[in-house]
Structures are given as structure tokens and as C-alpha cells.
Amino acid sequence: MAKTVMLSGATTTTDDVLRGVDLSGKTALVTGASGGLGLETARALARVGAAVVLAARDPAKTEGAVRAVRESVPDALLEVLELDLASLASVRAAAKRFLGSHERLDLLVNNAGVMATPFGRTADGFELQLGTNHLGHFLLTSLLTPTLLAAAPARIVNLTSGGHMISDVHWDDPNFERHDYDKWAAYGQSKTANVLFTIELERRLGPRGVHAYAVHPGMIATDLGRHLTPADLAALGEMAKSAPGGGGLPPFKSIPAGAATTVWAATAPELAESGGRYLADCGVSGEHAAWAVDGAAARRLWEMSERMIAEA
């Protein structure tokens, strides 16, 4: 799928990672592809020949993203898929549309997400950040699994964050129904869920040729931070100081550098048999919370997620 390139950590860009890579004949689906890291991921994959499905909530904005990709990749093979991860009905409809026209999926990039939002619930009653960042992707991935297996070796890339260190999963109250809402605890929970989901995906699908990776992209100025105030950023900095490692917030990356680890996870040959890893700066990272890499917790989250979706 790719050849090994020399990488330089936090400053590496998507084009650096994909230099010499040819994804012709491969199909990738990227959620949240209408802007930010998702748009850059779609552009980078299309530039090296992949047929890319841009999945996002706003069709008009996604069509604008298609135009933006074609400005730099005129012959890009692109499709638009309407997908609102905060609605299980929308996820099911999107999966049905994709399955109706595709038998194989080589790369699934679960990129979309929300961050530190005011309290809200999804269309199905889940806390907004857990529902969007984890449960929507959980259902989408489950529904698309037959196409990933058909394309094996295939890969799933789940965007998480160093913010997972803020909080474990709130096992007794994941939807903040009995406790006061804390936007950072809710965000941390959802990002921990992304890592645990990766681990259990690898356990279930890795032996069948579908490998999963959790990616921390770093600090990037995108629309993801639209809800953040200066006070929020200060609070985030304090939490980063008290987290494992205690180094505080890293410097901001450019969008092409922020998406580099995503495309590395999607294509690096050295990761071919090393699924279930937590990645950052185009490398395997050990800077993660212990609760996010616990196999028993990963299985527990999978079972809880299935139950929550079934009861919605």
C-alpha cells in the first residue's frame, strides 16, 4: 500500500507521508470531510489515487470541500455522503447508501468530532460528545464492517486526542443523567472511548485482516475549537500540566501536519501487522492514560455501546 518514508515527527505533513505512495484502486471514506483535518485527509488521499467518499453533515459545505480538493487534484475521484453522526437514523441511512454502491472499503477514517460543547443531547438522547464522537462512529463502523472485510487487508483510523487523559469513561453515568455536566470530562470520556473502540476493533477484526489505529493529531486551529473561550484554553493548559507526562500544551500544528499521522496510520507498511496502537506525530506513542488501553474496558465499552444503540 505504501513505501517507508523518513518522518520528522510533529512537522511532517500529509504530502511528506504519502510521497511515493499509490492508492489507485483503493476506496477511502472520511467522516467530517467538509473542513479542517477531514478535508486535508481527503485531499491527501485523493492526490495519491484513492477514490474518496467525503462524509459530512452539511451537503452544501461538503460540495464546497469537493471543489477545494479538485482545485489541487483536478482528476480526483470523489463522492459526497450525507452523514450526521448525532443521529443514528442518519448513520444507518448513510451506511445503506454506501453499501448500495460499494462492495469494498479499504480505508475508513473516523475523523469527525465535536469538542467541549455546551450541554446537549443527540437525536437519540445521548450526551452530545459521546454520541457524536463515539457512538455514531461505532454504529457506522459496525455497519460498514462487511465492506472492510471484503477489502482486507483494510484499515480503520479513529481520531482521538491527548484530551483522553482528562477522563476515563463514566461507566455509571455516561450520558450525565445523574451528575452535573462537565464539558471537559465529557470530551475526555469520548476521546477515551475512541481509543478503547480501537483496541476492541483490533481484537475482533485484526485476525481477519482489518486493523485499527487511534490517532492523536495534536493541537490544530480548526473549527473543532469553535466553542472554546480564552478561559477554556487556560483550563485545558492546566489540565495538560497535571496529565501523565505533565508537559502542558504542545505548540499548534498546521492542518497538513495535523492530518499527517492520520494518513500515516492509513498507509504505513510498518503498521501492517501492528493494529490497536495509539499514534501521535507519525509514530507509536506511549503517552496515553492507562485506562484508555485496558482490554477489559475495551470489551466493556463495546458491550455498553451495543446496548445503548439497541435501546435508543
**Mean pLDDT score across all residues of the chain:** 92
pLDDT in tens, 123-135: 999 999 999 999 9
213 is known as an active-site residue: no
Q: Is the pLDDT of residue 91 over 70?
A: yes
Between CA 263 and CA 278 the distance in angstroms is 14
CB atoms under 10 Å from CB of 286, counted, come to: 10
Q: Is the pLDDT of residue 28 over 70?
A: yes
pLDDT in tens, 193-202: 999 999 999 9
How sure is the predictor about 7, in pLDDT bands with cuts at 50, 70 and 90? low
Q: Is the pLDDT of residue 104 over 80?
A: yes
DSSP, res 24: T
The answer to whether 120 touches 128, Cβ cutoff 8 Å, is yes
Question: What's phi and psi for 126, nearest 5 deg?
Answer: -80, 150
DSSP β-ladder status, 154-159 and 210-216: parallel
Between CA 133 and CA 154 the distance in angstroms is 22
State residue 233's pLDDT score: 61
- Average pLDDT (205-211) is 98
Domains belonging to the chain, first-starting first, are 19-311 (3.40.50.720)
pLDDT in tens, 211-240: 999 999 998 876 665 656 676 666 666 665
Residue tagged active-site, from 181, 187, 213, 278 = 187
- Average pLDDT (148-162) is 98
Between CA 37 and CA 104 the distance in angstroms is 24
Q: Is the pLDDT of residue 243 over 80?
A: no
Most confident of 214-223, 247-256, 258-267: 258-267
Between CA 265 and CA 277 the distance in angstroms is 9
Query: Among the residues of the chain, which ranges form H helices?
Result: 14-17, 36-47, 59-72, 88-101, 128-130, 136-151, 183-205, 230-242, 255-258, 260-267, 295-311
How sure is the predictor about 273, in pLDDT bands with cuts at 50, 70 and 90? confident
Alpha-carbon distances, residue 58 vs 55, 88, 220, 222, 258 (angstroms): 9, 16, 22, 17, 23
User: What residues contact 60, with CB distance under 8 A and at least 6 apart?
Assistant: none
Q: Is the pLDDT of residue 250 over 90?
A: no
